Structure 1
Amino acid sequence: MLTIDNLTYRIQGRTLMEGASARLASGWKVGLIGRNGTGKSTLLRLIRESETETDSAIRIGKAAKMGWVAQEVEASDRTLLEETLAADTERARLMHKSETVTDPDELAEVFERLTATDAWSGESRAASILTGLGFSQSDLSRACKEFSGGWRMRAALAGVLFAEPDLLLLDEPTNYLDLEGAAWLESYLKTYPHTVLLVSHDRELLNNAVTHILALEHLKLFVHPGNYDSWQRKRSEQLAQAEAQKAKQDKARAHLQSFVDRFRAKASKATQAQSRIKMLERMQDIVIPLEERTHAFDFPAPDELASPLFVLDDADLGYTAGEPVLRGVNLRVDNDDRIAIVGANGQGKSTLVKSVADRLPLLEGKRVAARKIEIGYFSQDQLDELSAGQNAIDHVRRVRPNATEGQLRSIVANIGFDRSKAETNVEKLSGGEKVRLLLGLTALKKPHILILDEPTSHLDIDSREALIHALNNYEGAVLLITHDVYLAEATADRLWLVNQGRAAPYDGDLSDYRQLVLAADKTRTDSPSVASKSEPAPPPPPQRSETEIRRATADIRKKISAAERDIERLRKSLDALDAKLADASLYDRDPQKAVNLGQDRDKVQAELAVAEEAWLKASEAYEMAASD
């Protein structure tokens, strides 16, 4: 489907790819990964442009149709559904011909092609995609000009998905989706009938929706079958192997050099010394790729305050010009809380956190906060609040006006900016660098509550890992809005659900919530009415019986986990004993040790049988409890 052959590309004197090659087969779902700035988006652009080039290092399959999200949908009077249907240009052309062609033979050919391409189900398929990406049924008949830029980007994504190109190119598709939309897209891509090449830093998407990884590293392309975690393991193994080989080579080199140094001057050894010199010259250095280090995030421990840090009591939240977005909110935040806030876009998640951060006054009710509380607030909207024409040092100076120039530079370096970046005006920084600066400025205030509204949209995978590590080490409370399931699962232990004008604790985990979102979407998809005027039913809260089952089976699940750990430990012991017993010289060298090892093996084998039996019984008990 896609062949990249010996591609070299430079931009402004900087080499992004040199002799890079890769081949992607039809039907693969491929995640294109690499550090920020390595050239992933540039590679996608080159692939798009190859469609019009006759002599190119990039070739796509013969007659293959390529599709991508070029820009947001135009703010036109066409409805959302009409715009999505028009994205499949062949279908639109055939539908038009079916209404205008008068020749019977030509009309028969048109209808035959419409049937072959399943064009008659177009409206229901388009509606399914749009609702999956977060639009309501009533939105489908609204004009595109009524939606914001972010929602029109979703509409553009819906269009390219509806067109079903043979090669689908996606560049960070989850950046403008919420958690619900990202969950739907992940499910959709799994069953997409053609080839997908997507750039993403969303680890959950790269683990669950792709069949192959295409890594852009050290100016080269590397194809690996499997998901992101599989690629990471392979990469670690290769690095460890290279380090071991280099250590072995260094030892051999030192031995040869020692011989040369000792005997070079001796006539009787001169020939041997020369032979070893030639061996040294022929040795090719084993080069271990240098890992780019990701600068750590750091959130200092706040001054100690008694819980609760913050309480909303029967509060109505919203904007003074309109009706409340959320009503009757009763929530509290304690010192050790790690809370992920879930709910579809437009339900009021940002309204909630702005009210907690005191950026929105309450319409009704009470907001009670601990004395001297400091709340750190980060939102993607703040990227536009950075002052053009000023650099990182200037921004830090606002927070620490009494700091010396040396202290300011030290703080900026700790945030992650070297000298050149520290003096670069913010408008010239990348999205990830702007995020790092804003998070660093927030950390300087030593907040008791850290509120993060979509902090990872511009961060690469390694930077997201660094953020997870920092949040888990942070001693204050965290409120998190994110479409990144991996980040949420790694840092949050409770959920708040914002839905239908309410905000309340959610009695379930992210896995429960994602399943309910997908189930609700399937219900909408299976509905025969595409143009229904009613809003789709929101995902219902999990039934109490499910929670009770999880609690009832907690002890059984612990037994299963303990048995699995025992089995893994005993199998490793068994493998180690088998390796020792495989040494044929052992029986001549130390027969008693061989006998002892054999007895140890019998003992471990018996313990393994017991552990496997315990695992089997616990698993059967769990299945019975869950089914009851």
Structure 2
Amino acid sequence: MLHLNEVTLRVSGHVLLEGATAAVNDGERIGIVGRNGAGKSTLLKAIMGELAFDGGSMSFPRGLSMGLLRQHAPEGEDSLIDIVLAADRERASLLEEAIHCKDPHRIAEIHTRLADIDSHGAPARAARILAGLGFDEAAQQRAISEFSGGWRMRVALASLLFSRPDLLLLDEPSNHLDLEATLWLEGYLKSYPGTLLMVSHDRRLLNAVAQRILHFEGKRLVLYSGNYDTFERTRRERQSRQAAMQAKQIAQRRHIESFIERFRYKASKARQAQSRVKMLERMEPIASVVDERTVSFDFPTPEPLSSPIISLQGASVGYGKKPVISGLDLRIDMDDRIALLGANGNGKSTFMRLLSSRLKPMEGRLVKPPKLKVGYFAQEQAEELDLKATPLQLIERLSPMSTETKLRAQLGRFGFGQARADISVSKLSGGERARLLFALMTRDAPQLILLDEPTNHLDVDSREALIQALNAYDGALVLVTHDPHLIELVADRLWIVNEGKVQPFDGDLDDYRQLLLEQRRLERSKRGGANGNDMAAEEPARQRKTDRQDAALGRAAVADIKKRVRTSEQRMEKLGKALEILEARLSDPEIYKGSPAKLSDLQRQHADIKQALERSEIQWLEAQALLEQETAS
């Protein structure tokens, strides 16, 4: 479908690609990865035709439609639903022509084509996409001018998805999304009917969506089969083999060179020596493995404090006289790892500002030890950095009493050696500015770190380095992120921010994802399809409402049974593993030579777990039978 043949790509004299070749097949979903600054976004622009390749050629079928997610947000007074519908230019043009056309034959052609492209179902499809990206029915009717830049970018993404180009080009599509919208996008892209090229640093999105990975390697493009995890594993194995082959070749060369040196001037061995010289000349050197190590993160160890380090008692917080969140009765301990869930606009950042003391409680109390130090990371802080200053100057302003040696050591923890610490912030990349914020906020070894979308400008490797550093950190952590991979590997508690409340969530991220799916199904059933456009449009209104209610109740019942089945399976698996461990211990002859009390205790545990496992199996069988009955009916 798309072929890049020996292409060269330069930007401001800097070579990004040289002699690179790659082929994309029809219907494939390909993730594009590489270090920050490698040229991923530039490649998408070149494919789109906005930039010219400096060499080589690109070929694709005639009439292929392409769509690239733009970085400028739509503006004006049009409603969101109208902006998205206008993205299908053919439909909009046909509808406009149908209004003024007088030729009966042309009118028939127009309506035939409108039927072919499912023009009647377009409003419902546009509404579903907007709903998936976080816009409810009321918001879809509002003017785009009423929304902030981040929300407008969601409309730009919705417009592109609605237009359904043959080749969809996405550049960091989850950057302006919250976790809920990211989870929806993941499902949408997995079933996208066209071909997809996606630049992303979101590991989970790449794993869920990508069928192949296109990697920038040494100014070349290398395609790997499988998702991101498969790519990483395959690349490590290939590098390992390449390093072993190179080591073997080096040993062979040394052996040959040694023979030549020993017998070069010996008449009886001259011919063999000359033969080995030619052998060396013919031996193609195996390229060294280029280790693209990312910088490391290293959070300083804080002074321990007694828990709780923050206690909220009947607190509320907001702006002016209007509370955004109220009824807060929560505590944060020194060893907590908490991720905040909830759609954008529900108050997650407001809650973080309360914890960081940037906002004061409007009611109630926030209690914390006098010695508590808080490190706070927010993306807007990157925009407030003095672009003319150097990283060293910025940290000196914040810690005027510290020595230069100590401050340089702190910057070095986050990859700022002497050279990078002494250049102006304006010359730093987005990822480097994010790392600078980490260095600045942790300069005093805080006991509590608050991270509000910390990964937006970090590549995949840097995100992995951040995960390792956070897991090694000895203080408390509260995290807001749209990156599910970061949540799964770092957080051990989930709090939901919704409807003016912050409440612990009893479950993991998979349970939360299932909750979102069920909520959306129920919302769709209540709406009966976006804007009333569904397959039942011609039925009597009362009958449609009854059918939707019945369908919603049926789905809710099935969902509840499925949850019981899943819970029983998880319990059975856990009990089964515990039973295996106990049976292994009881099969050891040494256990019978020890304490009779310990043996009796193990035998009692074995009996209890076996009985619990039998009960779980019965519950699972009952739930499975109910599920089969419900789905059959």
The reply to whether TM is greater than 0.5 is yes
Alpha-carbon distance between aligned partners in 1 of 2:348 and 2:60, rounded to the nearest angstrom: 43
Matched, 1:557 2:573: yes
Alignment partner, residue 330 of structure 1: 329
Report deviation, 1:479. 0.3
Q: What SS is found at the alignment partner of 1:269?
A: helix
Check 1:52–1:389 CA distance in 2 against 1; reply closer, same or farther (3 A cut): closer
| Mapping for residues 324-363 of structure 1, pairs under 5 Å | 324-363=323-362
Alpha-carbon distance between aligned partners in 2 of 1:622 and 1:33, rounded to the nearest angstrom: 46
Report deviation, 1:492. 0.4
Alpha-carbon distance between aligned partners in 2 of 1:622 and 1:428, rounded to the nearest angstrom: 62
Alignment partner, residue 442 of structure 1: 441
Code of the residue aligned with 2:507 in structure 1: it is G
Alignment partner, residue 305 of structure 1: 305
Alpha-carbon distance between aligned partners in 2 of 1:549 and 1:120, rounded to the nearest angstrom: 40
Q: Per-residue CA shift, 1:536-573, capped at 9, x if unaligned?
A: x9xx9xx99999887766663236568999xxxxxxxx
Report deviation, 1:371. 2.7
| Mapping for residues 127-276 of structure 1, pairs under 5 Å | 127-276=127-276
Report deviation, 1:407. 4.0
Contact 2:569 2:620 (C-alpha < 8 Å) held by counterparts: no
Alignment partner, residue 113 of structure 2: 113
Contact 2:448 2:476 (C-alpha < 8 Å) held by counterparts: yes
Contact 1:556 1:622 (C-alpha < 8 Å) held by counterparts: no
Alpha-carbon distance between aligned partners in 2 of 1:287 and 1:617, rounded to the nearest angstrom: 59
Contact 1:342 1:495 (C-alpha < 8 Å) held by counterparts: yes
Check 1:237–1:619 CA distance in 2 against 1; reply closer, same or farther (3 A cut): farther
Report deviation, 1:59. 2.6
Code of the residue aligned with 2:574 in structure 1: it is K
Report deviation, 1:208. 0.3
Check 1:370–1:285 CA distance in 2 against 1; reply closer, same or farther (3 A cut): same
Contact 2:561 2:623 (C-alpha < 8 Å) held by counterparts: no
Alignment partner, residue 376 of structure 2: 377
Q: TM-score, normalised by structure 1?
A: 0.86
Q: What SS is found at the alignment partner of 1:462?
A: helix
Report deviation, 1:414. 3.1
Alpha-carbon distance between aligned partners in 2 of 1:621 and 1:240, rounded to the nearest angstrom: 49
Alpha-carbon distance between aligned partners in 1 of 2:7 and 2:614, rounded to the nearest angstrom: 57
Alpha-carbon distance between aligned partners in 2 of 1:361 and 1:333, rounded to the nearest angstrom: 17
Q: Per-residue CA shift, 1:183-237, capped at 9, x if unaligned?
A: 0000000111001111000000000011111111110111122100111111011
Alpha-carbon distance between aligned partners in 1 of 2:48 and 2:206, rounded to the nearest angstrom: 22
Alpha-carbon distance between aligned partners in 2 of 1:314 and 1:164, rounded to the nearest angstrom: 49
Code of the residue aligned with 1:107 in structure 2: it is I
Check 1:466–1:622 CA distance in 2 against 1; reply closer, same or farther (3 A cut): farther
Contact 2:565 2:620 (C-alpha < 8 Å) held by counterparts: no
| Mapping for residues 465-476 of structure 1, pairs under 5 Å | 465-476=464-475
Alignment partner, residue 431 of structure 1: 430
Alignment partner, residue 99 of structure 1: 99
Code of the residue aligned with 1:144 in structure 2: it is I
Report deviation, 1:415. 2.5
Report deviation, 1:522. 3.8
Alignment partner, residue 607 of structure 1: none
Name which of structure 1's ranges 463-472 and 404-413 shifts more when overlaid on structure 2. Answer: 404-413
Q: Per-residue CA shift, 1:102-121, capped at 9, x if unaligned?
A: 21110111111111111111
Report deviation, 1:625. 7.9
Identical amino acids, percent of aligned pairs: 46
| Mapping for residues 569-588 of structure 1, pairs under 5 Å | none
Q: What SS is found at the alignment partner of 1:174?
A: coil
Contact 2:74 2:153 (C-alpha < 8 Å) held by counterparts: no
Contact 1:553 1:626 (C-alpha < 8 Å) held by counterparts: no
Contact 1:454 1:481 (C-alpha < 8 Å) held by counterparts: yes
Q: TM-score, normalised by structure 2?
A: 0.85
Contact 1:299 1:446 (C-alpha < 8 Å) held by counterparts: yes
Matched, 1:68 2:63: no
Code of the residue aligned with 1:109 in structure 2: it is E
The alignment covers a number of residue pairs equal to: 570
Structure 1 portions without partners, runs of 5+: 566-615
Alpha-carbon distance between aligned partners in 2 of 1:256 and 1:391, rounded to the nearest angstrom: 53
Alignment partner, residue 603 of structure 1: none
Contact 1:50 1:56 (C-alpha < 8 Å) held by counterparts: no
| Mapping for residues 418-497 of structure 1, pairs under 5 Å | 418-497=417-496
Alpha-carbon distance between aligned partners in 2 of 1:97 and 1:264, rounded to the nearest angstrom: 88
Report deviation, 1:283. 1.0
RMSD over aligned Cα, in angstroms? 2.8
Q: Per-residue CA shift, 1:492-526, capped at 9, x if unaligned?
A: 01100011111110011111111222333344445
Alpha-carbon distance between aligned partners in 2 of 1:177 and 1:368, rounded to the nearest angstrom: 33
Alpha-carbon distance between aligned partners in 2 of 1:103 and 1:78, rounded to the nearest angstrom: 31
Check 1:261–1:52 CA distance in 2 against 1; reply closer, same or farther (3 A cut): closer
Alignment partner, residue 629 of structure 2: none
Contact 1:495 1:505 (C-alpha < 8 Å) held by counterparts: yes
Alignment partner, residue 597 of structure 1: none
Q: What SS is found at the alignment partner of 1:180?
A: helix
Report deviation, 1:280. 1.5
Code of the residue aligned with 2:392 in structure 1: it is I
Contact 1:560 1:619 (C-alpha < 8 Å) held by counterparts: no
Alpha-carbon distance between aligned partners in 2 of 1:168 and 1:6, rounded to the nearest angstrom: 23
Report deviation, 1:419. 3.3
Report deviation, 1:95. 1.3
Matched, 1:386 2:385: yes
Alpha-carbon distance between aligned partners in 2 of 1:192 and 1:556, rounded to the nearest angstrom: 37
Alignment partner, residue 42 of structure 2: 42
Alpha-carbon distance between aligned partners in 1 of 2:277 and 2:314, rounded to the nearest angstrom: 84
Code of the residue aligned with 1:494 in structure 2: it is R
Check 1:216–1:272 CA distance in 2 against 1; reply closer, same or farther (3 A cut): same
Alignment partner, residue 366 of structure 1: 365
Code of the residue aligned with 2:488 in structure 1: it is E
Structure 2 portions without partners, runs of 5+: 533-551, 582-612, 627-633
Check 1:451–1:547 CA distance in 2 against 1; reply closer, same or farther (3 A cut): farther
Contact 2:7 2:54 (C-alpha < 8 Å) held by counterparts: no
Code of the residue aligned with 1:333 in structure 2: it is I
Name which of structure 1's ranges 182-191 and 288-297 shifts more when overlaid on structure 2. Answer: 288-297
Contact 1:557 1:622 (C-alpha < 8 Å) held by counterparts: no
Alpha-carbon distance between aligned partners in 1 of 2:56 and 2:15, rounded to the nearest angstrom: 18
Alpha-carbon distance between aligned partners in 1 of 2:188 and 2:569, rounded to the nearest angstrom: 32
Alignment partner, residue 15 of structure 2: 15
Alpha-carbon distance between aligned partners in 2 of 1:482 and 1:290, rounded to the nearest angstrom: 32
